[in-house]
């Protein structure tokens, strides 16, 4: 009975802390501006099925794509076994599903073992790619320090967890053969049978202890891992699904028309300038044009930031980055996430939103980075989770121009030309048809 | 090449009681830039040859607002859009052919919300349709036999609007060989001009984007780099010059290549 109580407490604590953190992140995401995405439900489900479940954009890079699918499928399926482990833990049974599933159970356990081995192999491949081979996207400035450690930790933890699972099964099958009390004969062990020689020499009592240790290590490991996920780029294993569901379905070239600007332009173009304003209610400080800090972004931008896997496909495809400019769309996403976490922590401390004198634009992202973007959409196209770094870049440019009138001189004169001549160059509008005279 | 081509403005057409089938939206490059004007003329010659009843706005056309919007100046963009929409709606325009993917994208995707709803087509699509429908016959002109042509996808036609095939189909009508660069279609590399970069110095780096892109084209051993955007055309021309290859490698818009093959220029 005692192990069951300990397990129940452990399980509730683990999932409870996780739920608490998820609630915080949810709150942070909705610090973003409202945005209604309720259209085209069928197409949204389809996009999610294709891009997240079907990994359609992952396989563009065949090596990373293939090994990721191993981990992804392994994770999803092995979780069925975790479900059994949880039920065993709560009920004090051993291999709870076995009596119900019969020989299919044996097949499943065998299948999971093979998956576990493949996951281990894939993790080693990824560790090799990250640390030994020279892949450009893992070697950029924003990948130093924590992001690098994070990337490796996840892989090591996966290996440890899978190792515990296999060793647990190895002990289990010896105990089954010896007819130990409580260890009914169930499962097939295509992989862990090779671990049997390491444990065969021990007495039954010691083996039971080992088996229990691996069992507890596996489940505690999973609970710790669960709580690590929301602090890591590994959060994508959950957010990839909602994030692709809320993908932008419009043509990538379409940039939203700002409603607040439309109102003013309508007034200037045709509205009656002497009409009394519609409302005299004070709406508080007027809304900012564009984005200075993360709370000016919309919630989808923030969901994007929490979903980012830091894979760097965006940056790898970015023409500005490839030609040595400071801009990296991956860094834009990582900065956004770091800053919204910071804003969230401030709120946790003070109990309300606080002005800390820091902002996304300026403290995290510089003007030089923003002005390097060609708006080519290569980053958007490359992202396996349909994240849109360009939208954040554009909205920060809007802030620079419309709130601070800050632009490179040549851009300022382009604006002046458009305004005065209706063309980005200083040609008189009357000359627009000159080419017609030159035609014949 | 013989009969002079008449290019009516919308105002003239309406005054004479006629309604054009399409409005040709020339764009600022196509109107003012000497190199781009040659593309404009090629498009017009194709329209005339195919007996398309078209008109232009002439002095009534104004910048679509794309460079302003992409540089962050939403006010200026919406002012330009409002002005253009007023003119276009005033003439009850239904169908627009653009000579520039930036104008194409903006008018097609961003004008509708502001009150401008038109059927917008990029010139490479329109030309491809004219050939497919038998309205434009490619004959008697320049032969491209033995030449390798590669198409540089403009970001605002390709990734921005998922149009990859129409320009290629049009090029395949030529007797040349179409070769692809290692990065093409959705993976095509930008020429470096978009997002108002055309109008400013590049930020500090170690290379120009157009040079990086020209390397792709040279690697594909292309004799002709085909473009569908006046900005790309400028950038790729400069890129080729950077490698001192202007003798060997030509940079031409699809409209120019088709017009040459149809003996129009
Ligand atoms: C739900 C189960 C999933 C698991 C267990 C999982 C696991 C992992 C692991 C361990 C890595 C690290 C690989 C490395 O070191 O590079 C990774 C990376 C990544 N994952 Fe997932 N993932 C899951 C779902 C997804 C989904 C649904 C997507 C969306 C398409 C996705 C996209 C990515 C991307 C883009 C990377 C970066 C890898 C790269 O370098 O290309 N993952 N994932
Ligand atoms: S849109 Fe901007 S950030 Fe994205 S790839 Fe192109 S240049 Fe880079
Ligand atoms: S934005 Fe997308 S492509 Fe870029 S690093 Fe994040 S997950 Fe990868």
**For every residue of chain B, which 3-state class applies, written as one string?**
CCCCCCCCEHHHHHHCCCCCCEEEECCHHHHHCHHHHHHHHHHHHHHHHCCCCEEECHHHCCCCCHHHHHCCCHHHHHHHHHHHHHHHHHCCCCEEEECCHHHHHHHHHHCHHHCCCCEEEEHHHHHHHHHHCCCCCCCCCCCCCCCEEEECCCCCCCCCCCCCHHHHHHHHCCCCEEECCCCCHHHCCCCCCCCCHHHCCCCCCCCCHHHHHHHHHHHCCCCEEEECCHHHHHHHHHHHHHCCCCCCCEEEEHHHHHHHHCCCC
Ligand 3 close to Cβ of residue A309 (< 6 A)? yes
How remote is the C-alpha of A51 from its chain's centroid?
A: 13
Point out the residue among B61, B71, B110 whose CB comes nearest to the CB of A407: B71
CB–CB contact B109 A402 (8 Å): no
Q: Which tokens go with B248?
A: 């060997």
Q: Which tokens go with B219?
A: 């690697």
Ligand number nearest CA of A388 is 3
Write the CA distances from B122 to A191, B55, B98, B151, B164, integer angstroms.
59, 16, 5, 15, 12
CB–CB contact B59 A378 (8 Å): no
Q: State how far the Cα of A47 lies from the Cα of A69, in Å rounded to an integer.
A: 18
Residue A313 CA, closest ligand 1 atom number: 41
CB–CB contact A261 B74 (8 Å): yes
Identify the residue with better confidence: A95 or B39: B39
Same domain, A76 and A194: yes
Q: What percent of chain B has pLDDT over 90?
A: 96
Q: State how far the Cα of A398 lies from the Cα of B27, in Å rounded to an integer.
A: 24
CB–CB contact A268 B113 (8 Å): no
In a domain, A52, yes or no: no
**A&B contacts, CB < 8 Å:** 219
- Cα of A372 to ligand 2 centre, how many Å? 8
CB–CB contact B162 A398 (8 Å): no
Token pair 């970001």 is found at B155
pLDDT in the model for residue A185: 82
Identify the residue with better confidence: B175 or A336: A336
| Tally of structural domains, chain A | 2
- Work out the average pLDDT over B143-152: 95
Work out the minimum CA distance from B146 to partner chain A, whole angstroms. 31
CB–CB contact B204 A326 (8 Å): yes
Tell me which residues have their CB closer than 6 angstroms to ligand 1.
A 51-52, 55, 58, 64, 68, 71-72, 75-76, 126, 130, 151, 154-155, 158, 236-237, 240, 309, 311, 384-385
Ligand 3 close to Cβ of residue A304 (< 6 A)? no
Ligand 3 close to Cβ of residue A378 (< 6 A)? no
Q: Taking a C-beta distance cutoff of 8 angstroms, is the pair A317, A382 a contact?
A: yes
Which CATH number characterizes residue A389's domain? 1.10.1060
Examine the fold and report which residue of A188, A222, A245 is the final residue of a domain before the chain moves on.
Answer: A245
pLDDT in the model for residue A280: 46
Q: Which tokens go with B240?
A: 């080729």
Chain A residue numbers touching B203 (CB-CB < 8 A) = 320, 325-327, 368, 371-372
- Cα of B188 to ligand 2 centre, how many Å? 12
In a domain, A275, yes or no: no
- Report whether CATH 3.10.20.30 matches the domain B10-128: no
Tell me which chain B residue has its CA closest to the CA of residue A252: B160
- Torsion B195-B198-B202-B208 (CA) sign: positive
What string of H, E and C letters represents the secondary structure of A386-407? CCCHHHHHHHHHHHHHHCCCCC
In a domain, A222, yes or no: yes
Residue nearest to atom 2 of ligand 2 (CA): A373
Of A322, A205, A394, which Cα lies nearest the Cα of B69?
Answer: A394
Best of A58, A61, A383 for a ligand 3 pocket test (most atoms within 8 Å of beta carbon): A383
Using a 10 angstrom Cβ sphere, with 0-12 exposed, 13-18 middle and 19 or more buried, the burial of residue A179 is exposed
Ligand number nearest CA of A244 is 1
Q: State how far the Cα of A142 lies from the Cα of A316, in Å rounded to an integer.
A: 13
Q: Taking a C-beta distance cutoff of 8 angstroms, is the pair A252, B108 a contact?
A: no
- Cα of A389 to ligand 2 centre, how many Å? 8
Question: Residue B60: is its pLDDT beyond 90?
Answer: yes
CB–CB contact A414 B71 (8 Å): yes
- Which domain, by its residues, includes A416? 286-421
Within 13 Å, how many C-alpha atoms sit on residue A70's CB side? 20
Local confidence pLDDT in tens for the 440 residues of chain A: 788 899 899 999 999 999 999 999 999 999 999 999 999 999 999 999 999 999 999 999 999 999 999 999 998 888 888 888 889 888 888 888 888 888 898 898 899 999 999 999 999 999 999 999 888 888 888 998 999 999 999 999 999 989 888 988 888 888 888 888 778 888 888 899 899 888 888 888 888 888 888 888 888 888 999 999 999 999 999 999 999 999 999 999 999 999 999 988 888 877 555 555 554 455 556 678 999 999 999 999 999 999 999 999 999 999 999 999 999 999 999 999 999 999 999 999 998 888 999 999 999 999 999 999 999 999 999 999 999 999 999 999 999 999 999 999 999 999 999 999 999 999 998 899 999 998 88
How many Å is the maximal CA-CA distance in chain A?
Answer: 101
Residue nearest to atom 4 of ligand 2 (CA): A379
The mean of the pLDDT values for chain B is: 96
B208-263 per-position pLDDT tens digit? 999 999 999 999 999 999 999 999 999 999 999 999 999 999 999 999 999 999 99
Same domain, A414 and A310: yes
Same domain, A95 and A180: yes
In a domain, A23, yes or no: yes
Residues in chain A: 440
Same domain, A126 and A236: yes
Q: State how far the Cα of A41 lies from the Cα of A57, in Å rounded to an integer.
A: 21
Point out the residue among A268, A377, A415 whose CB comes nearest to the CB of B155: A377
CB–CB contact B186 A381 (8 Å): yes
Query: Other C-beta atoms within 10 Å of B166: how many?
Result: 21
Question: Residue B132: is its pLDDT beyond 50?
Answer: yes
pTM of the model: 0.93
Q: State how far the Cα of B194 lies from the Cα of A93, in Å rounded to an integer.
A: 64
pLDDT in the model for residue B2: 56
Q: State how far the Cα of A410 lies from the Cα of A336, in Å rounded to an integer.
A: 29
Q: State how far the Cα of B265 lies from the Cα of B258, in Å rounded to an integer.
A: 10
Write the CA distances from B257 to A237, B35, B97, B127, B260, integer angstroms.
50, 14, 18, 11, 5
CB–CB contact B74 A422 (8 Å): no
Same domain, A113 and A204: yes
Same domain, A304 and A224: no
Same domain, A99 and A233: yes
Same domain, A182 and A75: yes
List the B250-253 sheet strands across, edge first.
Answer: B177-179, B148-151, B224-227, B250-253
Q: Which tokens go with B133?
A: 């429908």
CATH of B137-261, one of 3.40.50, 3.30.70, 4.10.320, 3.30.420: 3.40.50
Q: State how far the Cα of B11 lies from the Cα of B17, in Å rounded to an integer.
A: 10
> B41, B63, B71: best mutation site toward chain A, by most A Cβ within 10 Å?
B71
Q: State how far the Cα of A234 lies from the Cα of A226, in Å rounded to an integer.
A: 10
Residue nearest to atom 5 of ligand 2 (CA): A318
Q: State how far the Cα of A205 lies from the Cα of A154, in Å rounded to an integer.
A: 34
- Cα of A158 to ligand 1 centre, how many Å? 12
Chain A residue numbers touching B68 (CB-CB < 8 A) = 414-415, 418
φ and ψ of A365, to 5 deg? -115, 135
- In chain B, domain spans: 10-128, 137-261
Point out the residue among B32, B79, B159 whose CB comes nearest to the CB of A427: B32
Of B171, B264, B71, which Cα lies nearest the Cα of A405?
Answer: B71
Residue nearest to atom 6 of ligand 3 (CA): A308
Same domain, A226 and A292: no
Same domain, A24 and A173: yes
Asked if B10-128 and B137-261 have one fold, the answer is yes
Q: What percent of chain B has pLDDT over 70?
A: 99
Same domain, A239 and A151: yes
Q: State how far the Cα of A214 lies from the Cα of A192, in Å rounded to an integer.
A: 13
Ligand 3 close to Cβ of residue A162 (< 6 A)? no
Helices (H), A229-282: 236-245, 259-269
């Amino acid at each position: 009975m005692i192990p069951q109580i300990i397990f129940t407490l452990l399980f509730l604590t683990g999932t409870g802390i996780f739920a608490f953190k998820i609630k915080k992140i949810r709150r942070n995401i909705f610090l973003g501006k409202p945005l209604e995405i309720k259209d085209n439900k069928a197409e949204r489900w389809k996009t999610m099925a294709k891009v997240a479940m079907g990994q359609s954009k992952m396989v563009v890079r065949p090596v990373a794509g293939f090994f990721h699918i191993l981990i992804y499928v392994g994770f999803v399926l092995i979780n069925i076994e975790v479900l059994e482990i949880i039920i065993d833990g709560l009920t004090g049974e051993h291999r709870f599903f076995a009596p119900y599933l019969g020989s299919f159970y044996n097949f499943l356990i065998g299948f999971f073992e093979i998956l576990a081995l493949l996951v281990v192999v894939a993790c080693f491949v990824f560790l090799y790619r990250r640390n030994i081979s020279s892949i450009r996207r893992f070697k950029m400035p924003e990948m130093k320090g924590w992001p690098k450690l994070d990337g490796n930790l996840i892989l090591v933890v996966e290996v440890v967890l899978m190792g515990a699972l296999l060793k647990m099964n190895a002990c289990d099958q010896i105990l089954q053969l010896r007819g130990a009390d409580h260890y009914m004969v169930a499962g097939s062990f295509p992989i862990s049978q090779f671990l049997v020689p390491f444990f065969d020499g021990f007495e039954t009592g010691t083996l039971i202890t080992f088996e229990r240790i691996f069992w507890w290590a596996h489940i505690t490991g999973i609970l710790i891992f669960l709580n690590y996920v929301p602090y890591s780029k590994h959060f994508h294993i959950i957010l990839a699904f909602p994030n692709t569901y809320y993908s932008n379905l419009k043509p990538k070239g379409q940039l939203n028309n700002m409603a607040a600007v439309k109102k003013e332009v309508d007034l200037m173009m045709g509205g009656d300038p002497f009409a009394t304003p519609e409302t005299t209610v004070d709406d508080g400080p007027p809304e900012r044009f564009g984005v200075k800090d993360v709370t000016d972004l919309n919630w989808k931008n923030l969901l994007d930031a929490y979903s980012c896997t830091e894979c760097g496909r965006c940056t790898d495809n970015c023409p500005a980055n490839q030609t040595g400019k400071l801009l990296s769309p991956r860094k834009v996403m990582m900065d956004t996430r770091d800053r919204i976490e910071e804003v969230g922590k401030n709120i946790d401390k003070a109990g309300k939103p606080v002005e800390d004198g820091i902002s996304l634009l300026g403290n995290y992202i510089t003007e030089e980075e923003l002005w390097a973007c060609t708006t080519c959409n290569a980053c958007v196209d490359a992202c396996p989770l349909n994240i849109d770094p360009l939208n954040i870049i554009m909205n920060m440019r809007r802030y620079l121009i419309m709130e601070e009138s800050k632009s490179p001189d040549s851009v300022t004169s382009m604006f002046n030309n458009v305004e005065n001549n209706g063309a980005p160059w200083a040609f008189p509008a009357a000359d627009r048809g000159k080419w017609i005279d030159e035609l014949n | 090449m013989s009969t002079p081509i008449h290019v009516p403005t919308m105002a003239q057409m309406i005054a004479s009681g006629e309604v054009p089938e399409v409005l040709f939206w020339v764009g600022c490059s196509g109107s003012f830039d000497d190199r781009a004007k040659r593309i404009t003329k090629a498009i017009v010659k194709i329209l005339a040859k195919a007996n398309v009843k078209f008109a232009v706005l002439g002095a009534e056309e104004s910048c679509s607002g794309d460079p302003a919007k992409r540089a962050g100046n939403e006010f200026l963009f919406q002012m330009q859009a409002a002005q253009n929409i007023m003119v276009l709606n005033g003439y009850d325009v239904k169908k627009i052919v653009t000579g520039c993917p930036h104008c194409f994208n903006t008018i097609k995707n961003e004008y509708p919300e502001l009150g401008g709803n038109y059927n917008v087509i990029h010139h490479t699509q329109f030309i491809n349709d004219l050939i497919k429908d038998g309205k434009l016959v490619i004959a008697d002109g320049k032969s491209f036999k033995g030449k390798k042509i590669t198409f540089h996808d403009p970001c605002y036609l390709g990734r921005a609007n998922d149009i990859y095939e129409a320009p290629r189909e049009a090029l395949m009508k030529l007797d040349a060989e179409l070769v692809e660069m290692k990065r093409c279609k959705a993976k095509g590399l930008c020429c470096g001009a978009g997002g108002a970069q055309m109008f400013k110095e590049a930020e500090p780096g170690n290379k120009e984007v157009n040079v990086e892109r020209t390397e792709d084209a040279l690697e594909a051993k292309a004799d002709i780099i085909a473009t569908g955007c006046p900005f790309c055309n400028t950038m790729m021309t400069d890129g080729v010059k950077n490698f001192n290859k202007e003798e060997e490698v030509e940079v031409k818009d699809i409209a120019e290549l088709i017009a040459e093959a149809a003996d129009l220029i």
